[in-house]
Structures are given as structure tokens and as C-alpha cells.
Amino acid sequence: MSLELQGKMRQYLLGHVTEAEREEVETTILTDDKAFEELEIVESELVDDYLAGKLSPAERTGFENSFCDNAERQQDIQFSRVLHRYVNAEAIASTRQPGPAATFWQRTWVRPAALGLAFVIIVLGTVWYVRSRREETTTFVAATLTLSAGNRGEGNNSTSVKLPSNVDAVKLNLQLPAPVAGSYKIRLVRPSGEEELKIAGVHDQLLTVIIPADQISRGAYAFKLYQIRSDGSEERISGSYLFSVE
């Protein structure tokens, strides 16, 4: 399938075509099996690009206007988001699998290193245990948020969090759009302004933020996520994590 046709289909899906071009594409996909399959491929790629924040502002507007109006397409977007979440989790898991045990233990440096590592694990385990015991005394309401292209005012992409009066804090797990790389900074956008929050942890492509219940009230919120590179510079990750407290 030619790159020209791919480009035409992309423009068609974004609604950036004239009536004549639209008829040309539609007649082609009705009569040509390969062209129809190509349209489906371009459609999936467009959804992936949208979720990855790779569309230009004009493409994003076209996508949101012409792409999100029916349940099946909402499910396509949801499926793409879930597929990428799954694939990234699996990719991380597969890189953590150990090599063959016998050859590994035969290496001379491995045993002292393992003893040192065991010591570190015991110390970290103790710290984790003490912290987790301390955390058990706090009651949370938890929610997982995914990166959304929308703004704080757009409620349809927002996750709602019910905050009963008897909980101590809101624990929000932010699904990172890509495997963990470097460190992160998070800013909470409130109706009254923005503030940087402390990150409680980053684990398995989830970044955890804990907000004490007395520091958050009913309303719409958004998180902005920044990636801190090894040279200290920071880059805003496109999109926001939207949620509302009820």
C-alpha cells in the first residue's frame, strides 16, 4: 500500500479531506480488501499516536472531533491504552528474568556480590517493613489514573474519587505512559493554583502520590507530570491525569 494512500487515509480519518477526496477513499475501501485493511491499520496507528501524545494540535483536534463520537471508537481507544499498558508491563517483566543459574553462579565475583546484595535487601526489607507498618495505621481511598489528552475542565476523561469522611488520605497511582526512566516531578493543578507534590513511590510503571484528606476538597483536579533527565533538565510529559473528588 503506497505511502500516499496511507497519508490520504490518515487525513480522511481526521476529517481533513474535501467531499471529493472523502468519496474517493470511501469508494476505495468499499471495493478493495487491501485498502480496507490499510484503513483499519492507519486507524489503530492514529489511536496509538493520539494516546502517545504524538499528534500535532490540528491532528489532535481533528481526532477528537471526528474520532470519539461512538462507543466502538471509545472502545478502540480504551483497547489501545490497555494494550500498551500490558505490553510495557510485560516488556519490563521479561527484562528482569534471570539467565541460566549454573553458569551464573560459577562466576567468581557473583558470590561476594550476592552476599553484599543480600545484606542490602535485608536492610531495605527492614526499612520497608517498618514503613509499611506505619502506613497501615493510615486509611486511604485509592484510585488509578491514566494519562489523558484533555484539560481539567473536561470532565468526561476524569476519574472520580469518592472521599468518605473517615479516611486519612487519597492515594493516587498514576499509570506512566512509558517504562520508568530517570526520575519524575509532579504538580497538582487545583482550582486555586498549582503546587508541586512529593512522590511517594514509583513502582511497576505506577507513580504513587498521597494527598492528606484535609488538604483536598470537592472539585476537579489534574496532575502534570515532568520527567527529570540525568542532566537535571526536565520535560513535561504531554497530557494530564484528570480526577475529581466527590
Partner 1 sequence: MRRHSDTTQEDFDRLLAWLDEDRDEAGKKYEKIRTRLIKIFACRGCCEPEDLADETINRVTARLSEILLNYQGDPVVYFYGVARKVHLEYVRRQDRSVPEKVTIDRNDDEERMYECLDRCMETLPEKNQQFVIRYYQDEKKAKIDNRNLLAAEMGIAVNALRIRAHRIRKLLKECVTSCMTNIAVN
- Interacting residues with partner 1 (CB under 8 A): 1, 12-13, 15, 26-27, 29-31, 33, 36-37, 39-41, 44-45, 48, 52, 54, 65-76, 78-79, 81-88, 90-91, 94, 143-144, 146, 156-157, 159, 177-178
| Residue 24 CB, nearest approach to partner 1 (Å) | 12
How many C-beta neighbours within 10 Å does residue 224 have? Answer: 17
State the nearest-atom distance from the C-beta of 214 to partner 1, in Å.
25
Calpha distance 51→61 (Å, rounded): 13
| Phi, psi of 220, rounded to the nearest 5 degrees | -100, 135
CA separation for the pair 111, 105 (Å, rounded)? 7
Grid cell locating 244 = 475529581
Q: What whole-number distance in Å separates Cα of residue 236 and Cα of residue 110? A: 40
Cβ neighbour number for residue 8 with a 10 Å cutoff: 19
Cα(143)–Cα(166) distance, integer angstroms: 17
- Least distance from partner 1 to the Cβ atom of residue 106, Å: 29
CB 189 within 8 A of CB 152: yes
Q: Closer to partner 1 by CB, 52 or 202: give it.
A: 52
Q: Give 94 or 103: the residue with its C-beta nearer to partner 1.
A: 94
Shortest distance (Å) from residue 203 CB to partner 1 = 17
Q: Which triple of cell numbers denotes residue 51?
A: 494516546
Among residues 58 and 118, whose Cβ is nearest to partner 1? 58
Min CB(110)–partner 1 separation in Å: 28
Judging by beta carbons within 10 Å of its beta carbon (0-12, 13-18, 19+), is residue 158 exposed, middle or buried?
buried
Q: Cβ closer to partner 1: 37 or 195?
A: 37
Residue (58 or 178) nearer to partner 1, CB? 178
Compare residues 86 and 105 and give the one whose CB is closer to partner 1. Answer: 86
| Shortest separation between residue 158's beta carbon and partner 1, angstroms | 9
